[in-house]
A and B are shown apart, each in its own frame.
Chain A
């Protein structure tokens, strides 16, 4: 008897036992010549089937159901947020004025350090949006998003420590937005680089020459804070330089994924029970988001 024939007999027995509820003895009677070889294998499978007793923890099921229901609700009635949708209009207007007139000034700096329970927090969010809107290069935007994601993590930890589950959920949504934006930017970064490579290769099918990436001198006037100085530096480079920048971004994101994930997991044992579910969801969003970003940068 060939292996293939035996595999078919084994599978038929398994099919009968697993799906039809037949006993092992009934199967063995069908194939007396193979019974000696079949019996230990079928016994093993019956032991394996004991694993079907694995059940998810009830508290996990409840948390997962809640999260799924929320996502389901959002899908059916999606929120239409504008680019500046997270923040009130007054904060956006104030942020634009501050950004343009008071570049690097104290209010912007104070707002950038504010937490969600601060009156300046809407200004912080609006300033971020203005910075993103005024940054024209994909790499610059990507670095900003990575930095803003770090800020969201700090805010989640801050609010979780204060036992505010609702705020943790809200900030998690903002974190998700930033990481999603980072995924898109990282993908575009790669595409841009491929085009540059084609152009540089000079082949018959090379892509037309791309305009230079925005240089520092063409960057819009934006507040040059300590934080942003590093973020907008190094633009306007050739393909090799851009590849280095992308590698640098990859390292930054990988470090952030490891550090932020570790810090948030460490918080799990310290926060009030009422915040744990929200914090777990934030960790899931964080890990999933960073994973997608790193995939896009690979």
Chain B
């Protein structure tokens, strides 16, 4: 953590390499979060870029408070996603295509994984926005309950309850799909 703090401090002091390193470390995670949250590849791509450009513009306002730098990036991504979803409530989502599957996979495992991703996206579309966000932050970004609560601006208890209801809803949807 101390290493990250010093990296962030260097980035705040306009050290290009430090910021580039933070970018490389967090880019894929932020993309995954937005892809699952938004459910649209192109929009998730545009928004991921914007998250890092916004971070670049406002890094001077970042204050180290002992939480990982990623929590700040997720907060920016969360705000953008909320904004985006608010404005696109009526839009229809385009399923993520096979390009989302890990490019390094062998064909059979890529096919299997793609099916999982499509099922998951179909299932998450039935969740509320808050449930979808908890699932995305918790299980694709692997953040702790405390971190998720901080990003979403909710209590840990509320996040745990959302997590439970989201998993139950996902389970139900996936079972129906399998039948």
Contacts and interface: CB of A to CB of B under 8 A. Distances in A.
Contacts of B45: 56-57, 60, 64
Contact of B139 (A7, A18, A287): A18
Most chain B CB within a 10 A radius of its CB, from A3, A52, A76: A52
Contacts of A14: 138, 163
A45 interface: yes
Interface residues of B, number: 51
A76 B14 contact: yes
A41 B171 contact: yes
Contacts of B48: 56, 64
Nearest to A57: B99
B113 A53 contact: yes
B139 A19 contact: no
Interface in A1-53: 3-4, 6-8, 10-11, 14-15, 18-19, 40-41, 43-45, 47-53
Given A7-B161, A69-B20, A76-B14, A51 B140 contact: yes
A287 B28 CA distance: 23
A260 B103 CA distance: 34
A48 B142 contact: no
A75 B20 CA distance: 13
A10 B164 contact: yes
A223 B57 CA distance: 38
Interface residues of A, number: 44
B36 interface: yes
Contacts of A44: 167, 170-171, 174
Contacts of A10: 160, 163-164, 167
A90 interface: no
Nearest to A50: B116
A43 B139 CA distance: 13
Contacts of B164: 3, 6-7, 10, 41
Contact of A64 (B41, B49, B101): B49
B50 interface: yes
Interface in A145-163: none
B46 interface: yes
Contacts of A53: 101-102, 105, 113, 116-117
Interface in B140-179: 140, 142, 144-145, 157, 160-161, 163-164, 167-168, 170-171, 174
A73 B17 CA distance: 11
B135 interface: yes
Contacts of A65: 23
A54 interface: yes
B178 to A, nearest CB: 11
Given A4-B160, A10-B167, A51-B36, 8 more contacts: A10-B164, A47-B116, A50-B113, A54-B101, A56-B31, A57-B100, A284-B46, A288-B50
In the A-B complex, the 8 residue pairs with the closest CB atoms: A50-B116, A7-B160, A44-B171, A56-B31, A53-B102, A48-B139, A53-B113, A64-B49
29 contacts: A3-B164, A6-B164, A7-B164, A10-B160, A10-B163, A10-B164, A11-B160, A11-B163, A15-B145, A40-B171, A43-B171, A44-B174, A47-B119, A49-B139, A50-B120, A51-B116, A51-B120, A52-B139, A54-B96, A54-B140, A55-B28, A55-B101, A56-B28, A64-B27, A65-B23, A68-B56, A69-B20, A72-B16, A288-B50
